[in-house]
Amino acid sequence: MAAPPTEEQLSSGSGEAEVYHDTTYGDGYPGACTDPPADLGGPTIKNTEPHDHQALVFTDSDQLSCRTSEIVSTQKVSDDNEDINEYDAQSIDEDSDEEDDICQYDEQLIDDDSDGEKCCGDEEDSDEYDAQLSGKDSETNCPGKNYSKEEVGKIVDRWFDSFTRQFDDCLDLRKEILARGDKNARLPPYPLKVLPEVTGQCIGRFCYHREYRTHDTSTTASVLGYRRPKVMLQVFSLRLASYESYPINVYGIFAVRDDLEPLRNLVFNRPRDDAVTIEQDFFTLPLCSPCRGMHVLDHALLEVDLWVKKDGDGSSDEKLHSAYVEIYVQSRFDLMRTGQIPGESCSLEIDYMFLSWSVEAVIQVFAKVDHPRPSRFTAFSSGFDHEIVLFGDKFAQDGKVSQHVVTVKQNGKLDICLKLEKAVFRWSFQDGVAGTLSSPDHSILEYGQFLVRVLFAPKNSQPGKICRCLP
């Protein structure tokens, strides 16, 4: 059995990490954002600003928990919505929020006379911000120049009518289910806001194509992040809600573009030659680790581009879903949300949460076994009761380091669980506490060698941005 990795091989070090920004497969789909492999074949996390007090403390079993000493002591923002026990009360609360969403979004999209968002400060700052967002026509895929103001108005009107109809249908169905008195029944999720191809802002200097740089399909830098707690997004699951027939082979991408850097942060990424088979009784798409934690000031963009693989060279492949979807925080923190992304041939459902005062947690696992075994790594946090699947059947067990990025509440506890055959092993960590809170006993050695460590908020680097004022 191979020797465990050394502290140097697993350490986070200082200095700037190299990043592959546009790894692509032969099919033209971007690969996962990864760092060059370390000595053990896996990535290492490096801080762009070394801190004297950021020491890596190993326990006797070489499991580690790391956190910078820069922990901000601030008062936690109170949530606008407390946990609701009664099913009907929850529905009423969500209905009210969603109706507010529609009014707000209506104003954003239909205000054709608007010149776009305005920034605080003097006119020079505003001009600089507009120039930064709009860029040249060659640097955007915005189709606004191909439409007149009247044509855009008709497109937005049709979009809004369709969206409100979907919302009303969902609301009626939820009310019907609640009227039956079955509080264990599953309520259908509200439709999320799939953006139209063009909006009124596309004719002006600012629109979602320019804000989120949708023309740029490269992946975001993995070295970006904050050490201080921020509002963050955690995606838990993505599943097909409907399709005409199963099984199907699905490939493509599902990405988040956030405030920190509006480039693709992939949470589902499958090239055509590694398409995932979706069965009739199993609709969930296997998620991959994002490049980094997802930071959300007010809203973020979800990018969907999924295909059904057909026989042949790919020319007959079917587009399953393609959309840009904008999601909003609206001060509704730490509540599980389920949204539906409607499509022509398929609908998607996504479970996600905006976590207040949270940090990025980088989970690294070293595994060495004599022969491959069915295994499943999952993560649980004190900030939510949903599990996060870290590594599934394709988890490397050949002495390499595997990595997954999750979001954890400030000072929150993080449990890493490993299921091997009928045995379950657990490691526990906590933000702000060095070392492991608990780890498996020696019985795990019967299955192989497993070393786990977690780095909380290991990064303090961000791209230069001009502060924008949200409408």
pLDDT digit string, tens, across residues 354-377: 999 999 999 999 988 887 777 889
Burial (Cβ within 10 Å: 0-12, 13-18, ≥19) of residue 444: middle
CA angle 414/290/455 to nearest 5° reads 40
CATH number at residue 62: 2.60.40
pLDDT tens for 234-289 read 999 999 987 778 889 999 999 999 999 999 999 999 999 999 999 876 789 999 99
User: Residue 86 is encoded by which pair of tokens?
Assistant: 């009664």
Report yes or no: 320 and 345 within 8 Å, Cβ to Cβ: yes
Report yes or no: 397 and 370 within 8 Å, Cβ to Cβ: no
CA angle 96/98/102 to nearest 5° reads 115
pLDDT tens for 75-102 read 333 333 333 233 334 444 444 444 454 4
**Which of 225, 199, 170, 467 has its CA nearest to residue 326?**
199
pLDDT of residue 395: 66
pLDDT tens for 403-434 read 999 999 999 999 999 998 889 999 999 999 99
Out of 122-126, 309-313, 389-393, the most confident range is 309-313
**Which of 282, 222, 276 has its CA nearest to residue 254?**
276
CA atoms within 13 A on the CB side of 410: 20
Cross-strand partners of 354 = 233
> In this structure, what DSSP letter does residue 14 have?
B
In this structure, which amino acid lies at residue 176? E
Residue 402 maps to a domain: yes
Neighbours of 468 (CB within 10 A): 18
Report yes or no: 136 and 173 within 8 Å, Cβ to Cβ: no
pLDDT tens for 435-447 read 999 999 999 999 8
Neighbours of 101 (CB within 10 A): 17
pLDDT tens for 186-208 read 899 999 999 999 999 998 778 99
Question: How many structural domains are present in the chain?
Answer: 1
Residue 1 maps to a domain: no
User: Which residue reads 């490096």 in tokens?
Assistant: 46
Higher pLDDT, 194 or 116: 194
pLDDT of residue 384: 85
Residue 399 maps to a domain: yes
Strands (E), 37-178: 64-67
Residue 61 maps to a domain: yes
pLDDT of residue 272: 96
Residue 105 maps to a domain: no
Give the model's confidence band at 393: pLDDT under 50 very low, under 70 low, under 90 confident, else very high. low
Q: SS3 of 283, please?
A: coil
Runs of H (alpha helix) within 42-148: 87-110, 123-134
CA–CA dist 390, 287 (Å, integer): 8
Burial (Cβ within 10 Å: 0-12, 13-18, ≥19) of residue 466: middle
Cross-strand partners of 365 = 402, 452
**Which of 288, 296, 276 has its CA nearest to residue 388?**
288
User: Which residue reads 């690294």 in tokens?
Assistant: 364
CA–CA dist 8, 299 (Å, integer): 39
Q: Which of 76-80, 135-139, 305-309 has the lowest mean pLDDT?
A: 76-80
- Terminus-to-terminus CA distance in the chain, angstroms? 59
Q: SS3 of 216, please?
A: coil
CA–CA dist 451, 85 (Å, integer): 40
Give the contacts of 254 (CB within 8 A, at least 6 positions apart). 238, 266, 267, 268, 269, 285, 302, 303, 304, 305, 306
pLDDT tens for 323-339 read 999 999 988 899 999 99
CA–CA dist 67, 457 (Å, integer): 6
pLDDT of residue 89: 43
Residue 287 maps to a domain: no
Report yes or no: 37 and 450 within 8 Å, Cβ to Cβ: no
Find the domain containing 373 and state its range.
Answer: 7-20+32-74+357-456
Give the contacts of 51 (CB within 8 A, at least 6 positions apart). 68, 69, 70
Residue 231 maps to a domain: no
Q: SS3 of 45, please?
A: coil
Residue 27 maps to a domain: no
